Every structure is written in C-alpha cells, then in structure tokens.
Chains A and B, each alone.
Chain A
Amino acid sequence: MIPRLIAIAACLLIFYGCGSADGDPVTVTAGETSVLFTAHTFRLPADTPEVQAVAVSQAVYSAIHEDTSPNAVIICPQDAALAFTAMNRITHMPVNAPLFYLDSKGEVGSTTMDEIRRIKPAGVTEDGQVQAYLVGEVSPTVADTLRERLNLDIREFRESDPVKLALLLDRWQAALKSDHPDEVVISALDHPDGITHGMGEMGWNAHMGRGFAWVLTDSVPDETRRILEMRYGEDGAYMYLTGGPDVISDKVAVELSRWGQVRRVFGDDVYHSSAVNAGYKDFGRNFGWWWGWESRNFDWGISQAGHNFIIGNPDNLLGLIPAVLLGHMGKHGPVLLVKKDEVPKSVADYLRMVKPFAAGPTATILNHGIIIGDVESVSWKTQVEIDRLLRPRGMRDKSGEPLPQAPIEKWPKPETTGYEVAVN
C-alpha cells in the first residue's frame, strides 16, 4: 500500500509540474506575417539593424522555458567588423546567443531591452553561467544597466580593434572548448567588400563554431599570426580565404601557407561568393593519433534539394549579420545574397540546381527561404521570384496552374530540365 501511495504521489508531482499549453487566443494587429509569407518563404521585416536583430531573435527563441531561450546574448555597437567577428566566434554552441546592437547613443535601446527581458538568457554552463557578452568599447553604463535592470552576469570583450578582438575571442574559445579549431575562416578587414564576401562562411561559423581571423588585403597582422601559431598540430591550420586575389592578395595567401593549408572560397562578386559558399565543402584529414582521429569538415556543401536559405541584400549588411542566427537554429541554412529587385543569375542558377521535387507518393522534398529585411531591402517581387525558385519542380511551377494529375504512386515527370525552368 505504501509503495503504491508513493508511486501515486510521484506521478501527481510530475503532472503538477508539467503545466499545460492551454491559454488565451493570439491576435496580431499589424498582420504582417499574413502579408509577408509565401508557400516556401517567410520574411522577418525590420527597418533598422537594431530591430532586425530583435525580429530574428523572436523567430528563433520562443522563450517559453529555459530550453527555448538562448544561454546568453551578444551586445555590440553598430559596427559591421565587430559584429561580424562576434557572430563568427561567439554565437555557436555552447554559448547559443543572438546578437543585438546598441542604439546610436551607444545604449541598449528599449526594443532590445524588452527582447532580452523576454528571452531571459539561461547562462552559459561552460563559462560561469555568463548571460551577456559585451563586445567592443562599450560604455560601462551598459553593463551596469543590464546588471541592475535584468540581473545579468556579464563578460566584456573590451576591444575595439577587430583584429585584436579575433585574437581575444580565439583564446577565450580555446578555454571554453579545450581546443583550437583547426579550420579558420580568414576575411579581409580593409577591403570594402571584405565582410560581404565572408558572409557565407560567417554563417557556417555561427552554425558550427570554427575559427576566425582577419587579414589585410596585402599583409597579415601580428595578432593573426599568433592565432595561427596556436594551430600547432601535424598539419597546422586549414585556412579558408573569403575572397579572390583582389580582396586577399596572393602574397598574403602564400604567407598564410606557412601555417597550413590555404583554400579560397569566392565568386566573381559578393552574390556569386554567397552561392559558391553554399555549395562549397572541404572535408578530409585533420589529425590522427593511433587510436583516435579527427577529420576536417568545413562549409555547407549543399548541392542537393531539401535545404533552407537565409536571403538578404548585402546593402543591409548590419541587418544581415545577426540573421545568420537562423543558420544556428531552426532552418540551419546558408546565406544567399540578392539585390532589392533581382535575384542575381549566380544565385538563381544555384537555386535551380537545388530545386526540390516529389520524392515519393506522399513525400515532396521542400526548400525554404527566410527573407531578411523589409520590402525596401528585398522587394515583394524578389521574394516571389525566390519562392518560384524554391518551390518543388512540377508543383505549379510556372503559372500557378495545377498539375493535370496528382503525383500518386509514381514519380512525377519533370516538365523541363533543371536549368530550363522558367522563373518569371
């Protein structure tokens, strides 16, 4: 009798603890989501980088309990190079953190403050339960405000030079993970498109947490040499240069080869670079020690249907950088760059290559696109064009007309080959 009573009491305790998902209805006054989704895309609209970062965070973290909240948040000034460095090195597990921007006065704006309060970071177990990382020369009042108003544990990376910041974060990550990842993304700090060319690889780093360092177009800074010196395994580092010789010179590439293997991941322009990155894959040996071995595994390597893409305009660089969080959780896809009113040919060709199709009588492979920014950044027409590129072959492919018959118990015959499918 007593064991039975104990069992009943234990069950009641657990049921009491469960709670329920019942609750009030939800209504949206703005109705934005109804307007800005298509069958195979949805949009996270915002008119400023600060709000864009919040909009992305809200899509990723429902925050109904600790496990749907991030462990920490990253807060940095609206400086592309600092934000780019932070997303490269901090976002991924075990930190699991969205990036938010300070406002133009260098303070945490009300929208951002509300969002941090909403998601209530749980703390990074591997880093003393830190809940907020401040990046760059941030005013001490920011940390004080966050401590006072939200009671957050804070770690500050007080370094305004992106090159030095990369070194500082490399040391911190090594302590965090007891390792220096041998794959290192290398971008050019002084080239006007240096960051944009590296958006795709930055997305991979947010997704998988590999290394990162800066170079200048024609030289290797001392801090970057020190980062690479720390990759002292049998083959040293595996370096991935984000840009062609016009962005990172051959002289720099040759110099970097002192520390390991150098590869370039780039296209003719920033749009092409994003498409190349999405399809690029480098895997193979890293090191082995009799009993154990570890392979290298770098970049998305998506060359088949069934994946998702973060799509934005490089002119909206500050808005796009925090959006790679969507490659870290949820849809886990690479960044593709488009123009406001056009999907560049290189990107369209890539999407045609990975166009889905019916894979069986009741299973259709599906791609999904997440559009970053408002219609001033990526127009509705472009969103529709992207939807056309993403939707499965044979399903209202051209004019919205239905198939003459349903794909039941047979594989649908494509009407055209991949590169001939009309987009418009």
Chain B
Amino acid sequence: MNRILPWIAFFLYLLVIGYGLYHTAMQAVKVAPRSDQAHQNRLHLQMKNLTRITGDEAAVYAAVQRAVDPEKAPDPWPGEWRRVLARELRKAGTGPAAGHVVVLPSEGEDAEVWALPGAYWAIYSGALTLLSGPDGLSDGDLESLKNMNLPVYVLAPSRYISDSALDEIRRAAPEVRRIAGGDPKDHAVLLAEYRDPGTGFGWGRTYGQRDGYFHYAITTPAEAKTGFAGLPLARSNAATLLFASDSGGVPAATDRYLWQQRADFFVTPAEGPFRHIFLLGDRTSYKGQARMDLALEKGPYASMGHIAMGPMEGLAIAYIALGIASMLFILIHAWRCLPGVMPVMKLGWAGTSLLVPVLGPILYLASFRRAIFHKNERRFFFRPPVLRAAAATAMSFGFGAPLMITIGWLFVYFGLPLFYGPWAEWGPLFLLGAGMMLMMIGMYLGAVLIAWILVQRPMRLMMPGMRTLWGSKGLTALAVTALSMLTVSLGMMTMSWWMLMEKIPMMPKEDEILWFGAVWLASTIGYLVSWPLNTPLVRAGLKEGSA
C-alpha cells in the first residue's frame, strides 16, 4: 500500500494540472461556443468596436452618406458600381498630386470584388484612378499616363488585366507594379499591409504600426456593391476595405490580420490607439461580427487579453513546455536507467523537473551519476552536501509544489472565498478574509496534508534507519513536510503574490495561461529558496538526500 500511495498523489496532480491546461487551450481556440444564445433578444447590432450597417447597397449608401455629411441630402444609389466609384472619386478630388496612378479591373466575373479594396485606397489617397479591361487601357488613358509620368499600380491578377496590357502600360509609364493576392480576401489584406514610401502608395497598416488609429470597412465578396456603397468612409474615417466570408464567417487572412491589429496598453486601456470596424451588409453572421469586435478589443501588453497571445504568455507557454519535456525525460530515463531506485524517488524528481525545467534534469543527472554504497540493506549514492540538499528538496518539492498548484487551481476554478465583516475594519485584519490570502493558506495546508498522507509518511515507513522525532515516524514525516513546504512557500507564495497581484495588471483567471505561467515560475523560485534551507534538515538527519 505504501508503494501505491505516492502514485495516487502523482496522478492526482497530473490529472488536475493536465485538465487545467487542456481547459485553458480549449477556451483559447473556441471561436463562438455560445453564439446561438448570444444573438437572441438583441435590441441593436452596435458593438463597442464595430458599427453594423445593414441593408442593401442603396440603404447602406444613404446611411453612410448621412453619417459622413449629415447636413447634405444623400445622393441616390446609381445602380452600378462603376458609377458610384466615379462619383465618389469626383467628390474626393483625385488627381496627379497623389504621386501615383491606380488601375482597377472593370470587366469580368467578380471584377467589382477585386476592384473594391483598391477603390478604397483611391478614394482616401486621391490617386488618379483608371479602369481597365483584360485587354488594357484605352489609347486616351495610355496617352494621359505618358503625359503624367507617374508610377502605376495595377491592382488585379492577370485574368482581369493581362500581362500584355501591363506591357502596354509599362511603355507609357516610368514604373508599373502589379499587386494582387491569391483571392479577393488575401488581396484586401495585401493592400492593407502594402506600402511604398517612394511613391506614397498603400496603407502600410502592418502589425508593426502599433500606434496607428485605423478604421476598417468590411463586407463580403457577394456584397461587393454594398462595399462600394461604403466608399465615403474611406475619406471620412480613413477606412481600409477588408472581406468577410460569404458563408458569414471571418476568413483566415482577415482573421489573422484583425488579431494582429489588436492594440495593447501599458498604463491604462484609455491610452490610444483605438481601432474601429464598419461592417457593411447582411451576410456576415453574428458570430463573425462578434469575433471581429473581439479581435480589436484592447489588451494589456503582458497577455494581450483573452484569446490573443501576449509576449508574457508566449514565455509562459515555452516555460511550461520545457517543464513537461523535462518531466518526460526524467520518467523515461529513470525507468530505463535506474532500476534499483525506489519509484517514489523517481516520481519526486519528475515532479521537480516539471516545475524546475532544465535545472531539474541537470540536478537529477548530477545526483545519480555517483558512486554507490550500501547501508542497512539499502542503496545510497555518494553526493556532496549541496547535492544531498538538492535531492532532499526534490523529494518534498516534487510532490508538494505540484499539489500546491493543483489546490490553487481548484481554488480559482471554484472561486476564492471572501470574508469581510465589521472586524475587517481593524487594521490589517482584513487580509485574513482576503481571497488571495485564504487561497495561499489553503494551498499550503492542503499540499502538506496530502503530501504527508500519500507520500512522506509512506516513504518514511519504507526507509529504515532515519532519525525519528517524538518516537513517531508519522509525526516526524508531518513535521518535516510542514517545515520543508514552508521553505518552498517562502519563495513560491512571495513570487506568486508579486506576479499575480503586482506584475500582471489584472489577475488572470483559471483558464488563462498566464495563471499557470505565474505559478510555474513561482514554483521554480520556491525550489531555489527551499534548496539551501533544506541543508540543516539533512544535517540533522531528518532528511536523507542520498537515496
């Protein structure tokens, strides 16, 4: 029985921490598990980072014009996308001052879809804009290009404006460049990110432009005409055009781009920049709309908020992955190479390596690559005092620290208790009712109790010849466990408090990787603090460190 109990402790923390990490991963990748209920009983479709403009192209055109020029009577929808483009270009006052010329496709199936992203740029920039069929520009347009001597950007693939047409333009202009994505959604993102500072072409709204105030107009390819109805937004709000999916969702290219456009904050979320979407048309689903709104929600620098991954979260994932790899190494190595060592020792080193990545395996190898001696029919390793202390620490830390994380996770999963009666007004007494304090006390007491019952007491019963206090191996195990875990807690709790209450602006929840990252790092600190403090216990014969 004594041999089985440590395995129960091992599987207990593996199950809870494993489930916690799985739960965290699933929360991060699920797109919209509650969407059916979320769309019910809404009074409006406005969201904090997104304005939805529904209706057909005529309704959207009227609404957008009224939004941009409230005092002016809106022009009627002309019924054809080329005509609305021409009208809005005229209003925008395009000409050679922009420093370049834009050529958009005008003929062929879905030509308006391909023309739409470039049209938004043309309206915003005031670039002279020409429409071209597959066979190229008219002679008059080519003659104009010769006179203007400006670089030309052809914004369409060759099936809309052929390579031979491009050659013709090349003969009329000093520089011609074709810019076209693999499909309209990629094409829109490509234009959103492209920038040629030499000619002034392109939005240049990349991930690197972290401080830019960017607005976006988004529609679906099937509603490209509705997208043209939103053209005034290109001028009033410097809006870049992106595409949602005809199936109502957010295509990968747009999704990736919008998440990169999530702004961070360093002091308070009131600091800029802010970004906003105008979603045009009816086809985009509620789920798609909500995901886009969420993508642009500000997040703290460390975590970048829910779903998105911040830099500290990246470090946390790498650290945890190293811990898991270190633990796997110990489990495989110990069971293949150390057949004579008690399983409880191997499990102790595995648990230590989980929370002390890299250093754990190094100490493990240093501890077992040693000469062997026998005493009381047991096998021991010759180790210097510093390694005896490290091994002794690992035996309590390897079970105690993962159990503390297990209990801590259960606390945050089920919620922290709070007490705040009138007595809480007496100086620092309020801390005794504070959730964080109660969780830490619970983590310590719970881990000591479980580790004592399942690991330390059975282990001590299996080891003859160790010093005993008060004539009881069980009580000795309890005292040593409590003392040893107290030394671990000194580092672990202090670091946890600092990370969760001070360093990270908002205390992470149980489904955030930053919570695991914080307690993982705190555990490592806990081991480093506990290691030297275990030396007196080894010297006093209360811990062995040689087995």
Contacts and interface: CB of A to CB of B under 8 A. Distances in A.
A128 interface: yes
Nearest to A14: B29
Query: Most chain-A CB neighbours within 10 Å: which of B46, B238, B273, B285?
Result: B46
Contact of A208 (B54, B68, B125, B268): B268
Interface in A28-46: 28, 30-35, 37-40, 42, 44-46
Contacts of A359: 212-213
A64 B287 contact: yes
A175 B420 contact: yes
Interface in A358-399: 359-366, 368, 380, 384, 387, 391, 395-396, 399
A125 B509 contact: yes
Interface stretch (A189-197, A242-250, A401-409): A401-409
Interface stretch (B145-153, B203-211, B334-342): B203-211
Nearest to B93: A402
B34 A66 contact: yes
Given A26-B52, A175-B419, A368-B276, A361 B286 contact: no
Given A67-B306, A408-B126, 11 more contacts: A21-B288, A38-B70, A54-B43, A94-B506, A119-B38, A178-B501, A230-B425, A396-B68, A396-B236, A406-B125, A408-B98
Contacts of A171: 420-422, 424-425, 430
B274 A62 contact: no
Contacts of A126: 415-416, 418, 435-436, 507
A257 B291 CA distance: 49
B289 A363 contact: no
Contact of B32 (A46, A64, A176): A64
B437 A178 contact: yes
Nearest to B508: A125
A26 B289 contact: yes
B418 A402 contact: no
Interface in B38-89: 38-49, 51-55, 59-60, 63, 66-72
A208 B297 CA distance: 17
Contacts, number: 353
Contacts of A31: 54-55, 59
Given A23-B287, A28-B45, A17 B200 contact: no
Contact of B235 (A18, A65, A123, A395): A395
Interface string A258-284: 000000000000000000000000000
Interface in B1-29: 25-27, 29
A114 interface: yes
Contact of B290 (A55, A64, A120, A207): A64
Query: Most chain-B CB neighbours within 10 Å: which of A42, A55, A65, A124?
Result: A65
B233 interface: yes
Contact of A37 (B43, B67, B95, B414): B67
Instruction: Identify the 8 closest CB pairs spanning chains A and B, nearest first.
Output: A330-B48, A23-B285, A406-B126, A62-B290, A129-B415, A67-B306, A21-B249, A128-B415
B274 A402 contact: no
B270 A64 contact: no
A78 interface: no
A12 interface: no
Contact of B270 (A172, A178, A207, A361): A207
Nearest to A96: B506
Query: Most chain-B CB neighbours within 10 Å: which of A67, A119, A300, A326?
Result: A67
A147 interface: no
A23 B29 contact: no
**Which secondary structure dominates where chain A touches chain B?**
loop
Interface stretch (A133-141, A301-309, A336-344): A301-309
Contacts of B46: 33, 37, 42, 44, 58-59
A27 interface: yes
A334 B506 CA distance: 21
B267 A175 contact: no
Query: Most chain-A CB neighbours within 10 Å: which of B43, B63, B247, B412?
Result: B43
A120 B34 CA distance: 9
Contact of A26 (B29, B98, B284, B510): B284
Nearest to A168: B420
A60 interface: yes
9 contacts: A40-B237, A67-B294, A178-B435, A207-B269, A306-B274, A363-B214, A366-B215, A395-B236, A409-B200
A415 interface: no
Contacts of A329: 48, 297
B428 to A, nearest CB: 9
Contacts of B195: 362
A127 B38 CA distance: 25
A232 interface: yes
B307 interface: yes
Contacts of A119: 38
A251 interface: no
B99 interface: yes
B249 to A, nearest CB: 4
A130 interface: yes
Contacts of A300: 270
Interface string B490-524: 00000000000110001101110000000000000
A122 to B, nearest CB: 8
Contacts of B48: 59-60, 326, 329-331
Contact of A364 (B31, B71, B213): B213
Contact of A125 (B49, B298, B434, B510): B510
A62 B69 contact: no
Given A33-B45, A232-B427, A406-B126, A25 B416 contact: no
